[in-house]
Amino acid sequence: MQTRRSFLAAGAGVAASRNAIRLIADDGSGQESRTLREAGAGAADVEVLLPCDRVPLSFVIDDSTCLVNMGHFCTPQFAEALPARAEYKKPWRSWPREIPDDFVRRFGEWCAERGVRGKYSVVPYPACVGWVDREMPGWSRRQLQDSLKLIRELMVPNWDIHPEMITHTRVIDLKTGRPKEEINAGTMENSYPQEKKSVDELASYLSYALRILERCDLPCEGITTPGGFGNLVKSELSLAVDQAVRDVYPVEIPHYFKYVHMGDRSTEPIIEHLRGVGTDNLRLTVNVPAGTGDWFGGWQGDRMSEPDLYCDQDATTGRMVELIERRQPAVMLCHWPGIYSNGSEDGFRAFQRIVTSLETRFGNKTRWMKLSEIARYWAARELTRLNRVGNRLILESPFAVENFTFRIAKVKGAARLDRKLEKVSEISGLAAGTWWQGEQTQTVCINLQRGQTVLQWDQG
User: Which chain residues interact with Zn ion by CB under 5 A?
Assistant: 62-63, 226
Query: Residue 177: which residues within 8 A CB-CB, separation 6 or more?
Result: none
CB of 331 to Zn ion, least distance (A): 15
Q: Which is nearer to Zn ion, 95 or 406 (CB)?
A: 95
Q: Which is nearer to Zn ion, 121 or 434 (CB)?
A: 121
Query: Residue 299: which residues within 8 A CB-CB, separation 6 or more?
Result: 62, 63, 70, 71, 74, 335, 337, 338
CB of 200 to Zn ion, least distance (A): 25
Q: Which is nearer to Zn ion, 62 or 272 (CB)?
A: 62
Q: Which is nearer to Zn ion, 118 or 226 (CB)?
A: 226
CB of 166 to Zn ion, least distance (A): 12
Residue nearest to Zn ion (CB): 62
Task: Calculate the CA dihedral of residues 227, 285, 22, 394 and round it to 10 degrees.
Answer: -150
CB of 63 to Zn ion, least distance (A): 4
CB of 170 to Zn ion, least distance (A): 14
**Residue 169 to residue 147: CA distance in whole angstroms:** 22
Q: Which is nearer to Zn ion, 226 or 298 (CB)?
A: 226
CB of 284 to Zn ion, least distance (A): 25
In contact, 100 and 348? CB cutoff 8 Å:
no
CB of 256 to Zn ion, least distance (A): 13
Q: Which is nearer to Zn ion, 229 or 377 (CB)?
A: 229
Q: Which is nearer to Zn ion, 128 or 400 (CB)?
A: 128
CB of 336 to Zn ion, least distance (A): 9
Partners of 455 in the beta sheet?
Answer: 393
Q: Which is nearer to Zn ion, 88 or 362 (CB)?
A: 88
**Residue 295 to residue 332: CA distance in whole angstroms:** 9
CB of 121 to Zn ion, least distance (A): 7
Q: Which is nearer to Zn ion, 69 or 405 (CB)?
A: 69
In contact, 2 and 272? CB cutoff 8 Å:
yes
